[in-house]
Structure 1
Amino acid sequence: MNILGKLIIIGGAVDKGSFTETDLDKNATSNLNFFETGILKRILNESKHKENSRIEVITTASVIPKEIGPEYVKAFEYLNAKNIDILNIERREQAADEAILARLKAADIVMFTGGDQLRLTSILGGTRFHDILLDKYHNEEFIYAGTSAGAAAASNNMIYQGSSSEALLKGEVKISSGLGLIDGVIIDTHFVQRGRIGRLFQAVVGNPRVLGIGLGEDTGLLITNNTQMEAIGSGLVILVDGREIKDTNLTQVELGQPISISHLVTHVMSKFDTYSLDTHKMHIQSSQYS
């Protein structure tokens, strides 16, 4: 199936500049490199109408939407975006409101902020808003961008809870259904900074068909046609491929006991590297063997 939309998933802590400071202009030079070459600029560049694209910032995952939303508006406006607004959907009935649905239908980009991914899916999952979102992603030149919770919720399977330090103890990682834009992957965020590799290991060993994606902060993946992934941003993307696992004790140990895994394959991507979900092959852009 040919998917016309693009998926941009971000590991959190997007360095969009400190717009809470009053001396923005004084600090513009230090922020400029991110604005020109970073993730938010890439979102605009990938969109149908570039700076004229209609953008909706969706703050549903956040418990402080009135603080988070305006930060993204200011950041996109600094990049010359001309048509941006905030959709704060706090209750399920709002996800059936005709005015809100009309705004979603008109959007070229939706930017899902961070927060709690379970809050996001429990409010939006199975609503008319969710149905329209999926239809636009499959059939229009449309961008779903999500950071932190917005990224974790993009796939069919979603990690919503699990201690980083105890993540390789059986039962410590909790998985639910996400928004279902992409299948065959499971996404974790704030990955390097919060030491979450064990969470992804456990998620993958329980279903080795699923590719684990660990996104560092200010780091993301641009996914086209749900098959081709390109690393963007300043940090690392960790991929965990369980298809070649040879052995594990997962079904033999009690809840709370350590899990053993033999022959789990990992890849590390940085900016401009690509990975194909069809062939499971990675291409390092600046390979020393090129």
Structure 2
Amino acid sequence: MNAHIFELIGTKTIEMTPKGKLIIIGGAINTGSFTETQFGLPQNMNFFERGILKRITDESSKNTASRFEIITTASLIPEKVGEEYIKAFAQLDVHDVGVLNIISREQANAVENCERIQAADVIVFTGGDQLRLSSIFGGTTIHQIMLEKYHNEEIVIAGTSAGAAASSKNMIYQGSSKDALLKGEVKITGGLGFIDGVIVDTHFVQRGRIGRLLYAAASNPGILGIGLGEDTGLYISNGNMMQAIGSGMVILVDGRLMNDTNLTDVAMGQPVSIKNMVVHVMCEGDIYDLVTHTLTIHHSKSIGVIS
């Protein structure tokens, strides 16, 4: 179903395309997720996603006059992260920026916070621990407002690192890279559900997380695995058209043509075999259609060869 919703009218089922736009980013901020042991802000935070932040602004309904809400719930250093986002957007002449550090489900149901989300043109989820996002927001009033706005309004919802991982209906929340292809190592739960039919992993190339996506796709071959490199993201429009943005790579793992796996035969902690998994690599400008499952590579003008 991907990110589309369906409405029953009489005996007909009509597919409803989301009006909102989704931008998911691989990250590059160390803010203390489950795999990180040292906290702090790297030197490149001012700002690793400068180009991507501009794309977020450009895609928003009111451009630089849009109301931005930065949700720092996933981070263990929310004040610092919030300040850096405010500074980064200010460099893009965006000044109507608020920071929401919601740390409890009670706050996620609070009227004043719901009103802020209702008024937002852009919502940005920062990095950190994606399990905090799903456990604090899942099923709350704010979560419902965000879903309704995404499907019915021209809102931009963006997430970096944990914020990107939590954007899909299914979410990886734990699993070491080196042991990812051992049965039971990769842990999956429900995410925030802005997009269905995919599962997202972040810091992908830098942390060697291909095994996590291979395992996720083998356990549910109908779900497309998306691995986002740092300073790299996907701009998703109409709920199904994914365009690569940023300087790095997006890795897609498609299990629909998988021939065989021993996943159900081996004991917990044992290696998993996978036969015939399809892998694509996307770079800036490439487009993947989640409906037709086709990749269109963007060919820039030939630079020429120096002999």
Q: Which residue of 2 aligns with 1:10?
A: 25
State the shift of 1:34 in Å.
Answer: 6.4
**SS of structure 2 residue aligned to 1:190:** coil
Amino acid at match of 1:244: L
Q: Displaced runs of 4+ in structure 1, greater than 4 A?
A: none
- Aligned residue runs from structure 1 range 1-290, under 5 A: 1-13=16-28, 35=50, 38-286=51-299
State the shift of 1:10 in Å.
Answer: 0.4
Q: Do 2:49 and 2:231's aligned partners in 1 also have CA atoms closer than 8 Å?
A: no
Q: Distance in 2 between matches of 1:67 and 1:92?
A: 22
Q: Which has more helix, going by share of residues?
A: 1
Q: Which residue of 1 aligns with 2:7?
A: none
Mark the runs of 5 or more structure 2 residues left unpaired by the alignment: 1-15, 30-40, 303-307
**SS of structure 1 residue aligned to 2:182:** coil
Q: Distance in 2 between matches of 1:175 and 1:2?
A: 27
Seq. identity, %: 61
* TM-score, scaled relative to structure 1: 0.91
Amino acid at match of 1:102: E
Q: Distance in 2 between matches of 1:95 and 1:151?
A: 19
Amino acid at match of 1:99: E
Q: Distance in 2 between matches of 1:20 and 1:255?
A: 37
**SS of structure 2 residue aligned to 1:56:** strand
Q: Which residue of 1 aligns with 2:32?
A: none
State the shift of 1:82 in Å.
Answer: 2.5
Q: Distance in 2 between matches of 1:55 and 1:40?
A: 12
Q: Distance in 2 between matches of 1:9 and 1:34?
A: 11
Count of residue correspondences: 276
Q: Distance in 2 between matches of 1:7 and 1:20?
A: 26
Mark the runs of 5 or more structure 1 residues left unpaired by the alignment: none
Q: Distance in 1 between matches of 2:87 and 2:223?
A: 37
Q: Distance in 2 between matches of 1:41 and 1:129?
A: 26
Change (3 A) 1:262 1:288: farther
RMSD: 2.0
